[in-house]
Amino acid sequence: MAQTSAKLKVGLMLPYTGTYASLGNAIENGFRLYLAEKGGKLSGREIEFIKVDDESDPSKATDNVNKLIKRDNVDVLVGTVHSGVAMAMAKVAKDTGTILIVPNAGADVVTGAMCAPNIFRSSFTNWQPGYAMGEVVAKKGHKKVVTITWKYAAGDESVNGFKESFEKAGGKVVKELTLPFPNVEFQALLTEIAATKPDAVYTFFSGGGAVKFVKDYAAAGLKKSIPLYGPGFLTDGTLEAQGAAAEGLLTTLHYADSLGTARDNAFRLAYAKTYKLQPDVFAVQGYDAAQMLGIGLAAVKGDISKRAGFVSAIEKAKIDSPRGAFTLSKSHNPVQDIYLRQVVGNENRFVSVISKALADPARGCKM
């Protein structure tokens, strides 16, 4: 019988160093903001954080997550950003039955073939914004596209999502360029893009790598001649560093800086006051991970050992997110609106809802 007055141990496994460090920090900020709004407790339980810097390194992931479960005895795992690390976390969570809430990593398989009653995601699948963007690029009349990304699950799956809808609409991906994560030596690949002369480029990069890619793309003179598109990770949390190189870029994502709803305005104000920073999609996903934990705990009065009640409360919930309310699919992934956004100054400005209540196909999930 769990002690419902004891602190609830949350294992926060996120990148705090490397190209995704700013994403990890934003997720933690968002999580802590929700907790602070609830007076520092969820269903009467104080939260004790046990933090691990996962360095976005899949080779260290299994050890890291095992330590959190076996040495630190965490009640809940929250993590992470990188799809490769998240797949290792999901495997251990599935094997041990530990509750896992994924606040970013989009690895399709986490809510696909690896889906499990104890695994939830507050973010997206890599397929979702990619698929939405394929339709946008096709509607713009582009026929021939080159893709460029890091060679790992997030890049591959983002490109696959894009390709699925773009080619269904009559377009053709003529070249798929990749480089190993987290390399940022883009020059040779940019030269290859220039030589190929596609109608447009689709790209997945995020964090520090996205800053460098967008700047290098513009500096190579490609921005004027070959329009660049991508999921919104390309320009979220990066605009100050990207400057004029990002101006005008169109991206697709489940969040935008100018939604203008009362819910989002309140969130943005509270976040800016607390951290002296503007929130981004990663902060929203961290905030919503905390909300989901709060919803589950409320249903079992803080006793997380009452697993069935905890799980079914989150499954049934409508999560009141700053992005817009969302529900979870059967495989525990957000069913959510995907927005088209355009960079205007330091803002990813809302343009339109491009896919209403888009659900990931959850291929291979049996639950």
| Interface segment toward ligand BEZ; rule CB under 6 A; list 104-112, 221-229, 304-312, 359-367 | 104-112
Instruction: Kindly state the smallest distance separating residue 132's Cβ from ligand BEZ, in Å.
Output: 14
State the Cα–Cα distance between residues 134 and 202, nearest whole angstrom.
Answer: 9
Tokens in use for 78? 């929250």
Which candidate, 130, 125, 31, 143, places its Cα nearest to that of 77? Answer: 31
Answer for the pair 287, 263: CB distance below 8 angstroms, yes or no: no
State the Cα–Cα distance between residues 111 and 118, nearest whole angstrom.
Answer: 11
Contact pick of 8, 105, 226, 343 for ligand BEZ (by CB under 6 A): 105
* DSSP secondary structure letter of residue 101: E
- Amino acid at site 184: V
Instruction: Kindly state the smallest distance separating residue 103's Cβ from ligand BEZ, in Å.
Output: 11
Question: Binding string to ligand BEZ for residues 2 to 41, with x set by CB under 6 A, is what?
Answer: ------------------x--x------------------
Does position 109 interact with ligand BEZ (CB under 6 A)? The reply is no
Contact pick of 12, 33, 52, 81 for ligand BEZ (by CB under 6 A): 81
Site for ligand BEZ in 110-129 (CB under 6 A): 126
Which candidate, 90, 42, 28, places its Cα nearest to that of 277? Answer: 28
Answer for the pair 340, 309: CB distance below 8 angstroms, yes or no: no
State the Cα–Cα distance between residues 210 and 134, nearest whole angstrom.
Answer: 20
Does position 83 interact with ligand BEZ (CB under 6 A)? The reply is yes
Does position 235 interact with ligand BEZ (CB under 6 A)? The reply is no
Instruction: Kindly state the smallest distance separating residue 8's Cβ from ligand BEZ, in Å.
Output: 26
| Binding-site size, ligand BEZ (CB under 6 A) | 13
- Amino acid at site 114: M
Which residues of the chain form contacts with ligand BEZ (CB under 6 A)? 20, 23, 81-83, 104-107, 126, 154, 206, 233
